[in-house]
Amino acid sequence: MQAAGANSSTELAGGPVAAPLEAAWESIRTGLRRDLGARTFDGWLKPAELGAFEPDSGALDLVMPSQFMADWVRSHFGERLTLAWKTVLPVVRDVRVIAAADAPRPAPLLILEASPPPAERDPDAPNFDPRYRFETFVVGKANEVAATAARTLATSPTVSFNPLFIHGGTGRGKTHLLHAIGHAFLARNRGARVVSMSAEKFMVEFIRALKENDTIGFKQRLRNADLLLIDDVQFIAGKDSTQEEFFHTMNEIITAGRRLVITSDRAPQDLDGIAPRILSRLSWGLVADINSADYELRFNIIVSKLEALPGVDMPRPVIDFLARRVTSSIRELEGALNRIGAYAMMTGREIDVAFVEEVLANVLRANQRRISIDEIQTQVAEHYRIRKAEMTSARRAREVARPRQVAMYLSKQLTPKSLPDIGRRFGGRDHTTVIHAVRQIEKLRASDAELDADIRLLTRQLEG
């Protein structure tokens, strides 16, 4: 019997079960590389290998070469990986990111024999990162309003605003505040029902509920929450049926006096493709932005994060160097610290500026001239005195079409983004539209001195 079982597992590993796993993983890897960028993907997710799959529980192992990488990928991409697998191959219901030494790996893609499934976790139980609490959130001018509002909503018996809408660019701390709200709310309200999910997950689960004729269960699960947390609401742009359900969920939560927190990478008025009544509802509450961290906040964040990295001795000149040079986002700053700590422990070298320059060569190079499409859109909109939302709108009037073309041109000149990526950031336009805009502006610069001066000024402002 034992030999037969082993043969069965080996046969499955190279047979009909392994092939869909490999095909799904290839598709997911392609999507992650596109969405996260080549540098992030190659540095953290490319080394991941498929491990064991348990058909009964639907659990799949992704194996990382070290415990450090496993912990980092699990905390930063765990939910995204699980959601991607559920979408591409629904038979996979849970993804476990483990280190190579955590489990025996007799062969890649080993399909385990049927075994009693582990006790299932409540799908609605919040899974907040223990690191993301108010105590570990460093407050500065850039995030003071958002942090104060978040703490008030989580801890006060009554609040004068609902919902709380937090917006800011990638890596500025929105998700940290969401988890901190969850921790604090549960600490003060034992037994409270808290539901936390990304807008992307909201959409996927709603569509699944429609297919399985379980929309009533889906509605009850969310609308009965005492606190509902929705991350990255911009992902439901253009999804009409999802927005309809989202609007009614918002209404139910707010009308019942329960609490709602939503995050986005943009302010409500800049969210193109979102129904006006949703934007209106969002604006009824408190809208709090998180701006780019200044030098002082970056310095304090480094000092705070170093407390969680025992054994990493970083002198003040190095902290100062990092705070001045890694400016793109707090998330990248944290990643830089983790990388420095890991390399120092592996090599036994002293952490000085020369060591940091060597370890973070690519990061420092990118931060020297990293300009985002969002910054370009903001700068161009201010220069031409139009609303930033026009950058992604469908309007073709000359007073908005020309600035939009200028912004597309600058995006091509000043960022490493591909033409399709640029098109997506301008309201989902095709890459041929971007090509036309670039050629048009290049042609006009040769004959229109005023336009040429505008572009030179905008370029200096963005690069400065």
End-to-end CA distance of the chain: 71
Checking if the pLDDT of 185 tops 70, the result is: yes
User: Is 128 inside any structural domain?
Assistant: no
* Eight-state DSSP code of residue 1: -
pLDDT value at position 229? 95
Mean pLDDT is lowest, of 218-232, 255-269, 330-344, for 330-344
User: Is 81 inside any structural domain?
Assistant: yes
pLDDT value at position 17? 53
Q: In angstroms, how far is CA 435 from the centroid of its own chain?
A: 28
Tell me, what CATH number does 224's domain have?
3.40.50.300
Distance, in Å, from the CA atom of 437 to the CA atom of 351, rounded to the nearest integer, reads 47
Find the mean pLDDT for residues 26-38: 83
The DSSP code sequence of 299-319 is HHHHHHHHTTSTT----HHHH
* pLDDT band with cut points at 50, 70 and 90 for residue 238: confident
User: Is 108 inside any structural domain?
Assistant: no
Residue at a domain's end among 306, 341, 368: 368
pLDDT value at position 103? 38
Tell me, what CATH number does 22's domain have?
3.30.300.180
pLDDT value at position 101? 59
Per DSSP, the three-state class of 53 is strand
Checking if the pLDDT of 464 tops 60, the result is: no
| Of the ranges 71-85, 120-134, 372-386, 411-425, the best mean pLDDT one | 372-386
Distance, in Å, from the CA atom of 464 to the CA atom of 459, rounded to the nearest integer, reads 8
Per DSSP, the three-state class of 414 is helix
Checking if the pLDDT of 115 tops 70, the result is: no
Residues in the chain: 464
* pLDDT band with cut points at 50, 70 and 90 for residue 135: very high
pLDDT value at position 119? 42
Q: Do residues 331 and 379 both lie within one domain?
A: no
Checking if the pLDDT of 429 tops 90, the result is: yes
Residue tagged 């200044």 (tokens): 294
User: Is 259 inside any structural domain?
Assistant: yes
Tell me, what CATH number does 422's domain have?
1.10.1750.10
Q: Do residues 52 and 68 both lie within one domain?
A: yes
Q: Do residues 249 and 340 both lie within one domain?
A: no
* pLDDT band with cut points at 50, 70 and 90 for residue 105: very low
Residue at a domain's end among 353, 368, 383: 368
Q: Do residues 353 and 379 both lie within one domain?
A: no
Checking if the pLDDT of 2 tops 70, the result is: no
- The CA dihedral of 233, 237, 239, 242, to the nearest 10 degrees, is 20
Residue at a domain's end among 368, 401, 430: 368
CB neighbours (10 Å) of residue 443?
A: 10
User: Which of 378, 396, 397 lies closest to 387, judged by CA?
Assistant: 378
* pLDDT band with cut points at 50, 70 and 90 for residue 368: low
Per DSSP, the three-state class of 428 is coil
Q: Do residues 54 and 145 both lie within one domain?
A: no
Q: Tens digit of pLDDT for each residue in 392-424?
A: 998 889 899 999 999 999 999 888 788 999 999
Q: Do residues 52 and 175 both lie within one domain?
A: no
User: Is 120 inside any structural domain?
Assistant: no
Distance, in Å, from the CA atom of 222 to the CA atom of 124, rounded to the nearest integer, reads 9
Check if the beta carbon of residue 291 is closer than 8 Å to that of residue 146: no
Q: Do residues 406 and 353 both lie within one domain?
A: no
User: Is 112 inside any structural domain?
Assistant: no
Q: Do residues 92 and 213 both lie within one domain?
A: no
Check if the beta carbon of residue 277 is closer than 8 Å to that of residue 247: yes
Mean pLDDT is lowest, of 147-156, 222-231, 308-317, 441-450, for 308-317
User: Is 118 inside any structural domain?
Assistant: no
Find the mean pLDDT for residues 176-205: 92
Q: Do residues 164 and 18 both lie within one domain?
A: no
The domain of 360 spans: 295-368
How many alpha carbons lie under 13 Å from residue 420 in its C-beta half-sphere?
2
User: Is 180 inside any structural domain?
Assistant: yes
Query: Which tokens sit at 221?
Result: 């699960």
Mean pLDDT of the chain: 84
Find the mean pLDDT for residues 113-142: 69
Domain count, the chain: 4
Q: Do residues 163 and 277 both lie within one domain?
A: yes
Q: Tens digit of pLDDT for each residue in 57-76?
A: 888 999 988 777 788 788 78
pLDDT value at position 387? 93
Q: Do residues 255 and 355 both lie within one domain?
A: no
Checking if the pLDDT of 125 tops 70, the result is: no
Q: Do residues 260 and 357 both lie within one domain?
A: no
pLDDT value at position 124? 54
Q: Which residue has the higher pLDDT, 381 or 127?
A: 381
Q: Give the ranges where 136-267 is alpha helix by DSSP (H).
A: 144-155, 174-188, 199-211, 215-223, 240-255
Checking if the pLDDT of 48 tops 70, the result is: yes
